[in-house]
Amino acid sequence: MDFKEKIATLLKKYTNLEKDEILNLIEIPNSEMGDFAFPCFKLAKTLKKAPPMIANEIAEKIEKPDFIEKIEVVNAYINFYINKAIYIESILNQVLDKKEDFGNSSIGNNKTIVIDYSSPNIAKPFHIGHLRSTVIGNSLYKIYKKLGYNVVGVNHLGDWGTQFGKLIVAYKNWGNKELVEKDDIKELSKIYVKFHEEAEKNPALEDEARLWLVKMQERDKEALELWKWFCEISMKEFERVYKMLNISFDSYAGESFYNDKMQAVVDELFEKDILVESQGAKIVDLEEYNMPPCLILRSDGGTLYPTRDISAAFYRKKEYNFEKCLYITALDQNLHFAQWFKVIELMGYDWAKDLVHIPFGLVSLNDGKLSTRKGHVVLMEDILNSAIEKTKNIIEEKNPNLENKEEVAKQVGIGAVIFNDLFNSRVKNVVFDLERMLNFQGETGPYVQYTHTRACSILEKENFTLDMLEDIDFSLICDEYSFELVKLISLYPEKIIDASIKYEPYIITRHLVNICQAFNKFYDENNIKNSDTNLKKARLAIVYATKNIIANALYLLGIDAPEKM
């Protein structure tokens, strides 16, 4: 039973509003004000009466159905109190019946969403600055899958561009093959930093780097061999990190994949008279839209990020016929995306509106912003290993006899890092603090995972079996703690949809913390062990349902749910 929908159907009889309008207006108030509330402000204009008067008149007319315990009017609000036994039975039966499928939806059926995320630059270290795009994208991928969409995860690797010209110059000047083979990405990063230090003293190095990029574009053998070698070295490191995070992609088509697809885009821009020349470069003038020009070709004929991004968008539309194509990158790239989205719109393609930039704030260390050029980075692999090691120490201290300590340390340590990133709205900046995120108290990943293990432990101690879920007397669990927990569980499917609409995994993360807090209160206030048989069965049904929801939500965040900690 969808109680919100039932109340909307009920109210439709007494208002001039459509059911969907009523559904959008219904609120979830503080528990002391009821379970659902309908504000009457919108009716004041058409009925020409004060909202409190309208609320009273409607409330007096409503024939109260059995699923509503009472109706009260507070100012302009009609507050509905649900019959607890009917509500708890309805929600728990859904969760117990659907198990891990609770929250699944068909709203995405026959629709494809492409998500462009992670996308590190080849020949640069995978550092904590790459974490945000990677985990936000992975979570959105799982959320859209849950809602029935066909999802295509694209790792648009930065495997082309001026940085390769710079790296080739750096390697030829200061590189050593044996050192690169020994220290791989760390040595490449070291000489890349060296290039920028030297280029400040000798700007001619920048010109030399651009010439090497042109050589790459002209298929020069030496340039391409070095480029391919740098790519292979980088991918080994990337794959190690992705394996630790348990993240995979459907496509690794990076920037180089579009090299033979850009000319068609440039030709079309010329044909449609959109390209203009400016100081030898080819641009799209966007002054009319209060934006700087979008550079398509440099004066030396080299392509730029917009050229490749536009070509990639055309390819993806043709290949996947997406409903939406999402780009998860830092907030400071807002202008870049706005510019080339506008170029596609000016080319006459209405699907430009389906291209969505999903920005996020920066991740930083306690002592400031990251910079690959300055060498001020912390490798993602080192961070994850450190989180695992610290978790291992905590386990040795608190539960040294735990089975599979190594595996649990990975699940908790890495889970803590991901959870911390997804706990706040993505546009907020994140300061990386490993000590805080590994805390087992408060709003952290370990706290949520521990709550899951606590539920598992309760079920194990009570020898729980699925047979116990039959013939439950739900009227026995109408106390406030059980009811509040079930109410939060009932909102879970709605939170998944909300997260998908707003591109915000944190909506699920925050709701999950609320569920865990409510569960721990429920457990502290309700004695399961010494309950009589029927009451114990009913309470264990809540424990089992909560365990499933926590594991389900953690999965959507890209985090494991250990059964013991």
Query: Tokens in use for 258?
Result: 């579009």
- 372 pLDDT exceeds 50? no
Percent of residues, the chain, with pLDDT higher than 70? 98
What is the DSSP code string of 165-229? HHHHHHHHHH--HHHHHHHHHHHHHHHHHHHHHHHHH-THHHHHHHHHHHHHHTT-HHHHHHHHH
Handedness of CA 122, 123, 129, 135 (dihedral sign): positive
Task: Kindly report, residue by residue over 160-180, the tens digit of the pLDDT.
Answer: 888 899 999 999 999 999 998
The domain defined by 382-557 carries CATH number 1.10.730.10: yes
Cα angle value 280/286/287 (rounded, 5°): 100
CATH superfamily of 3-82: Arginyl tRNA synthetase N-terminal domain (3.30.1360.70)
The number of residues making up the chain comes to 565
Task: Kindly report, residue by residue over 441-481, the tens digit of the pLDDT.
Answer: 889 999 999 999 999 999 999 999 999 999 999 999 999 99
Q: Tell me how far apart the alpha carbons of residues 393 and 426 are, in angstroms, rounded to a whole number.
A: 31
Q: What is the DSSP letter of 324?
A: E
- 109 pLDDT exceeds 50? yes
Percent of residues, the chain, with pLDDT higher than 90? 81
4, 42, 84, 124: the catalytic one is 124
Cβ atoms of residues 171 and 216 within 8 Å = no
4, 42, 130, 142: the catalytic one is 130
SS3 (DSSP) at 400? coil
The domain defined by 112-261+305-364 carries CATH number 3.40.109.10: no
Task: Kindly report, residue by residue over 217-233, the tens digit of the pLDDT.
Answer: 889 999 999 999 999 98
| Distance separating the N- and C-terminal Cα atoms of the chain | 36
Task: Kindly report, residue by residue over 53-106, the tens digit of the pLDDT.
Answer: 999 999 999 999 999 999 999 999 999 999 999 999 999 999 999 999 999 999
Domain range summary for the chain, segments of one domain joined by +: 3-82, 112-261+305-364, 382-557
Active site residue 130: yes
Q: How confident is the model at residue 278 (pLDDT cuts 50, 70, 90)?
A: very high
Instruction: Give every CB contact of residue 393 below 8 A, 6+ residues apart in sequence.
Output: none
Q: Tell me how far apart the alpha carbons of residues 512 and 556 are, in angstroms, rounded to a whole number.
A: 11
What is the DSSP code string of 52-66? HHHHHHHHHH----T
**What are the C-alpha distances in Å from 283 to residues 210, 297, 306, 450?**
19, 7, 10, 55
Active site residue 49: no
- 123 pLDDT exceeds 80? no
Cβ atoms of residues 182 and 538 within 8 Å = no
Phi, psi (deg, nearest 5) at residue 359: -85, 155
Beta-carbon neighbour count of residue 470 at 10 Å? 8
- 371 pLDDT exceeds 60? no
42, 84, 127, 146: the catalytic one is 127
